[in-house]
Chain A
């Protein structure tokens, strides 16, 4: 069965970076896009971008250019998202979701606080 297992909650300082992971299992990792989505407390969902692990191609929401960097490691079937220059506006739950959004990770809470 398809599973997406995300890394645990992060408490990080303003101005720093964080890298969260999404480990895929139950399917051929290199054959499907992996999307990333942001959800701030009490807010709706925001699409960040996707990566195609087969060749590393990416597509970003321009709003997250320079903020989010998507990578994938084929050897471990893991997708990563690095968030840089963190501010309080980056405090949110971040989800990974497989192509067509049928499968989602459990979410990773990132809290930016000094």
Chain B
């Protein structure tokens, strides 16, 4: 199975900060990488698909990028509503596998 190593596991940042979360794939996954935001008690929400494509309705402060086997989700200027868990998913190979998640909080 492809391992998705997500870091950090938790992150505390100030409002307005630039925040980056990373997933490293154990094998080549091309751009088959999706980022999700999940707020407490809610379903995951797709934020980025195809590694770099912003999903419909997602604020432009969110972006996705790739450098080799490292995939990043960046929030350019942190807002209070961004407090959530974030997950990555590879969908190139079965079984699809998620990262272990990042808990983002406001400092």
- Using CB atoms and an 8 Å cutoff, list the residues of chain A in contact with chain B: 35, 44-47, 49, 59, 61-63, 95, 97, 100-102, 104-107
B87 interface contact, C-beta 8 A:
yes
Over the window 20-51 of chain B, the binary record of Cβ atoms lying under 8 Å from chain A Cβ atoms (1 yes, 0 no) is 00000000000000101000000111100100
Question: In the complex, are the beta carbons of A45 and B94 less than 8 A apart?
Answer: no
What residues on A are CB-neighbors of B43 within 8 Å? 95, 104-107
> How would you classify the secondary structure of chain B's contact residues: helix, strand, loop or mixed?
loop
Which residues of B lie under 8 Å from residue A63 when comparing CB positions? Answer: 95
The A-B contact count (CB < 8 A) is 48
> B55 in the interface, Cβ–Cβ < 8 Å?
yes
In the assembled complex, the Cα of A10 lies from the Cα of B71 at a distance in Å of 37
B interface residues, Cβ below 8 angstroms from A:
34, 36, 43-46, 49, 55-56, 87, 89, 91, 94-101
17 cross-chain CB contacts under 8 A? A35-B96, A44-B98, A44-B100, A45-B44, A46-B98, A47-B98, A59-B94, A61-B95, A63-B95, A100-B46, A101-B34, A101-B36, A101-B44, A101-B46, A102-B49, A102-B55, A104-B44
